[in-house]
Amino acid sequence: MKLKWPNIMFIGFLLSTVAVTFSESESSESESSESDIISRFQQYLKIKTNHPSPNYKQSSEFLISEANSLSLHSQTIELVPGKPLVLLKWVGTSPDLPAIMLYSHTDVVPAEHDKWDHPPFEAHLDSDGRIYARGSQDMKCVAMQYLEAVRKLKQWGFQPKRSIYLAFAPDEEIGGHDGAEKFSLSRVFQDLNVAIVLDEGLPSPDANYRAFYAEKSPWWLVIKAVGIPGHGAKLYDNSAMENLLKSIESIQRYRASQFDSIKAGLKAIGDVVSINTVFLKAGTPSPTGFVMNLQPSEAEAGFDIRVPPTVDTESLERRISEEWAPTWRNMSFTLGQFKQKMYGRDASGKPAITKTDSSNPWWALLENAVQEAGGKLGKPEIFPASTDARYFRNLGFPAIGFSPIANTPDLLHDHNEFLHKDEYLKGIKIYESIIKAYASYDEHEIDERFKDEL
C-alpha cells in the first residue's frame, strides 16, 4: 500500500515524539539516580563521627542499612567496647581465592564551625556543585564510593570471582590503635584470607589521580630543657628557654633543608622527613597571665615528625640525641617521650613498602582499571602523613592508598572541606572499574593459559 504524504508526516511525528519522550525519560532516570547517589552521600556526611565523641552507633546503623539494601552479608565487630568495626561481604564465585578488602575509616577530625562558610555537618550542596562537609574528602567519600560502585556492579549482574570485603573502622584520626591495629592482628582478619587492601589516598590538584605505595611513620617527639630559674633582668648561660630555643633553631635548619629539596623539585613531600613545631610550654602562670620578671626553670616543645620508610632511622635518632636534645645542654628526651613512634618496617625489618613493579599484579590492575574508566595515575608516591594502611603493610600485605579525587584542592582537616559532586560521581565509575578488575583476577587461570601457549 502506498502511504500518502500526510500519513508519512504523522508517522514521523509519532516516532519523533516517542524518541523525545524516551530520551527525556532516560535523562530523568539518570538525574534521579544521580540525585539518589548524592543524597546517600549527604546522609553519611551528616552523621557526626567527629572526635572527641564520634557517633559510631549511628554510622554503623547507616552502613548496615546500606548493606541490607545491597544484599551484602554484614557483621559488627567490637574489639574495643563502643568502637564498632562494620564488616560487609560480597561472596565470590571462587571463595577459596584470596579476597579483596576495601577499607575506610568512619571517624573524622573536629571542625571549627565558625570558620566554615557552611555548617560542617549539614553536607551543603552549593549552586556550583560543591558538597561542603567534614569528611567529604577524608574519607567518607571513599566509603560511599565503594558502596555505590558495588550497587552499580550488582545492577549490571556482575559476579565477582574473589570475595570482596568492605571494612569501616573507627579511630584512624587518633592513631587507629583501637581500630585498624587491633583488627589487623585479630583472628577475624586472619580468617578473611585477604590478598590486597585498598585504603585512602589524597586529592590531586590536577587531572592525574594519586596512588600511594608506602607512608611516613609519625614520630611525635617532646623535648625538655631545664635550668636554674632567675630574675628576668639577668643574663646567664644555659637557661631552660635559651637551650630550648637553640634546639628549635637547629630543628628549623634541618626542616628548611628538607623543604628546599621539595621547592627545587628534587623530591616529593613523601620522600623527605617533615618536622613541625606543634606546641611550646614554658613560663610561670599568674592570675593576670605570666610572671614577666622570672625566667622559667623548665621549658618544653613538641614536634610532629614524619619519617619515610627509606630513611636511616638510627641516624635520625642520633641527630635527636646529639644535636637537638644533647644532655650537655641540660636537654632530655627518651624514647618514652615519643607520644607515638612507629617504624615503617615489616616483620622482617624491611621497609613496609607495596611494590609498584611487575612483581605486584595489583598495581598494574589498578593502573589499567583507572585508564579504562577514563582516568590516569600519576607517579607512585609515599603518603606524606599516616593512614591505617600501615598496619596491613607492616604485616606484609600489599596495601595501596587511593582516593579517586582529581582537579581538587587538598582540604583534609582544613576549613571548608568540600568535594564537587561531579568528581564524586566520576570516582564511583573509577571504583567500578577497579573492583571489577580486582575481583575478576585469577593468577591460576593466567598460569594455565601460559602453559597452554607453551
Domains and CATH numbers, the chain: 32-214+347-450 (3.40.630.10), 217-307+310-341 (3.30.70.360)
- Residue 400 binned pLDDT confidence (cut-offs 50, 70, 90): very high
For residue 217, give the 3-state DSSP assignment: strand
What's the pLDDT score for residue 338? Answer: 61
Query: Does position 34 have pLDDT exceeding 60, yes or no?
Result: yes
- Span 9-34, average pLDDT: 50
Inter-residue contact 170 to 85 (CB < 8 Å): yes
Instruction: Report which secondary-structure segment, H or E, holds 315.
Output: helix 313-319
Euclidean distance between CA atoms 116 and 118, whole angstroms: 5
Query: Does position 84 have pLDDT exceeding 90, yes or no?
Result: yes
Residue carrying C-alpha cell 594455565: 448
Q: What is the pLDDT of residues 271-282, one digit of tens each?
A: 999 999 999 999
Active site residue 128: no
What's the pLDDT score for residue 47? Answer: 98
- Residue 317 binned pLDDT confidence (cut-offs 50, 70, 90): very high
What's the pLDDT score for residue 20? Answer: 46
Is residue 105 a known part of a binding site? yes
Is residue 300 a known part of a binding site? no
Is residue 413 a known part of a binding site? yes
Of 66, 148, 171, 172, which residue is the catalytic one? Answer: 172
What's the pLDDT score for residue 433? Answer: 98
Query: Does position 157 have pLDDT exceeding 90, yes or no?
Result: yes
Inter-residue contact 222 to 337 (CB < 8 Å): yes
Query: Does position 4 have pLDDT exceeding 70, yes or no?
Result: no
Within 10 Å of residue 317's Cβ, how many Cβ atoms? 14
Residue carrying C-alpha cell 590503635: 177
Inter-residue contact 416 to 117 (CB < 8 Å): yes
Share of residues in the chain with pLDDT > 90 (%): 80
What's the pLDDT score for residue 449? Answer: 53
Q: Read out DSSP for 47-100?
A: S--BTTS--HHHHHHHHHHHHHHTT-EEEEE-SSTT--EEEEEE--SSTTSPEE
* Cα radius of gyration (the chain): 27
Average pLDDT over all residues of the chain: 90
Of 66, 107, 215, 388, which residue is the catalytic one? Answer: 107
Euclidean distance between CA atoms 102 and 311, whole angstroms: 29
- Residue 238 binned pLDDT confidence (cut-offs 50, 70, 90): confident
- Span 286-302, average pLDDT: 93
Instruction: Report which secondary-structure segment, H or E, holds 151.
Output: helix 140-155
Instruction: Return the exposure string of 24-63: e unless at least 16 CB atoms fall within 10 Å of the residue's CB, then b.
Output: eeeeeeeeeeeeebbebbbebbbbbbbeeebebeebbebb
Inter-residue contact 114 to 105 (CB < 8 Å): no
Query: Does position 60 have pLDDT exceeding 90, yes or no?
Result: yes
- Span 39-51, average pLDDT: 98
Inter-residue contact 301 to 281 (CB < 8 Å): yes
- Span 92-108, average pLDDT: 98
What's the pLDDT score for residue 448? Answer: 55
Active site residue 107: yes
What's the pLDDT score for residue 438? Answer: 98
What's the pLDDT score for residue 83? Answer: 98
Q: How much helix, strand and coil, in percent to the nearest 5, is found in the chain? A: 40, 20, 40
Inter-residue contact 188 to 78 (CB < 8 Å): no
Is residue 420 a known part of a binding site? no
Q: Read out DSSP for 382-448?
A: EESS--THHHHHTTT--EEEE----S----TTSTT-EEEHHHHHHHHHHHHHHHHHHHH--HHHHHH
What's the pLDDT score for residue 17? Answer: 46
What's the pLDDT score for residue 2? Answer: 47
Grid coordinates in use for 259?
623543604
Within 10 Å of residue 107's Cβ, how many Cβ atoms? 24
For residue 168, give the 3-state DSSP assignment: strand
Query: Does position 120 have pLDDT exceeding 70, yes or no?
Result: yes
What's the pLDDT score for residue 444? Answer: 77
